[in-house]
Amino acid sequence: MHTSSKIYVAGHRGMVGSAIIRRLKAEGFDNLVLRTRQELDLIDQRAVEDFFAVERPEYVFLAAARVGGIHANNTYPAEFLRNNLAIQTNVIHSAWKNGAKKLLFLGSSCIYPRDCRQPIKEEYLLTSPLEPTNEWYAIAKIAGVKTCQAYRRQYAFDAICAMPTNLYGPNDNFDPQDSHVLPGLIRRFHEAKLRGDEAVAIWGTGQPLREFMHVDDLADAAMLLMRSYSREEIVNVGSGDEVSIAELARLIADAVGFRGRLEFDPSRPDGTPRKRLDISRLEAMGWSARTRLQPGIAGTYAAFLAAQHDPVERTAP
């Protein structure tokens, strides 16, 4: 992949896609093909086929998806399944059909079973049932992995798959209802501080453990994989560190400056009890995450404040 190579980043306005764009531009890549959702609806099969037939990108980063936290997954199961299946199938097929040299599909650690042994190795995929609160998104992402593997086997298409852990950073979705836990808490604590609230309610017991990674670290890993990896097996991408939801909430409250109480609601679902990825496969390639959680949260809150005047749709490119 050379700096003059024609590269398409699907989902370039979202958190992951925008991080990949930042990394590409920082390295001098200047032949980037970008389309907003209004310019190209990736759910529209004909539109995607026409786009690839005209532009014929050489390299494709597939970062577009319908994403959200527990509430969004439970509220919109059909959309999470249908839209993600359509997006990834359309892009993978059209990339292969129009001669793309390589495609990187970005999945999610939620593809792994709910009660996985820890840390989670890539080979644990499909060994036991999924977490019910995000199974619709997980099933779609598993289908994306299998689509890449099928196109590699049948057509020798160089499609590779990376499974990131829980991500956060600039351009995240901070919607109070549909976001993941970290950006959702940033917004809730910020608004509670502005109102002068004495307490903030938080879903669940606070006991589940989660691994978080800054999206810029994922962009680093994506570049490494696009340049150096060409195998069927999926690759985990994580930070290697865990934190409880309760600890995370306290870190976010401190970063935002909220001084009230944290009230956990055990009547609300916790989700998967623990989810830490085994990243030895990627570490063997010389990669490791660099951003620590506390400064990463502070930077994400600063980005949230800076972006308040310019909200962006996060559900598609």
The CA distance from 77 to 75, in Å, is 6
Q: Does 257 belong to an annotated binding site?
A: no
Q: Does 194 belong to an annotated binding site?
A: no
Distances (CA, A) of 229 to 82, 88, 145, 153, 159: 29, 20, 15, 16, 10
Q: Does 182 belong to an annotated binding site?
A: no
Q: Does 267 belong to an annotated binding site?
A: no
Q: Does 311 belong to an annotated binding site?
A: no
Q: Does 317 belong to an annotated binding site?
A: no
Q: Output b/e per residue, 158-176; b: 16+ Cβ within 10 A.
A: bbbbbbbbbbbbbbbbbbe
The CA distance from 13 to 98, in Å, is 24
Pairing of strands 32-33, 166-168: unpaired
184's CB contacts (< 8 A; 6+ apart) are: 69, 174, 175, 176
Q: Does 4 belong to an annotated binding site?
A: no
* Residue 112 among the catalytic residues: no
Q: Does 16 belong to an annotated binding site?
A: yes
Q: What are the tokens at 245? A: 């939801």
Q: Does 250 belong to an annotated binding site?
A: no
Q: Does 164 belong to an annotated binding site?
A: yes
Q: Does 166 belong to an annotated binding site?
A: yes
Q: Does 167 belong to an annotated binding site?
A: yes
Q: How would DSSP label each residue in 78-117?
A: HHHHHHHHHHHHHHHHHHHHTT-SEEEEE--GGGS-TT--
Q: Does 94 belong to an annotated binding site?
A: no
Selected catalytic residue, list 8, 137, 168, 301 = 137
List binding-site positions for substrate: 188, 203, 210, 270
- Annotated binding site, which residues? 11-17, 106-109, 141, 164-167, 180, 188, 203, 210, 270
Residues recognised as catalytic: 137
Give binding residues for NADP(+) as ranges: 11-17, 106-109, 141, 164-167, 180
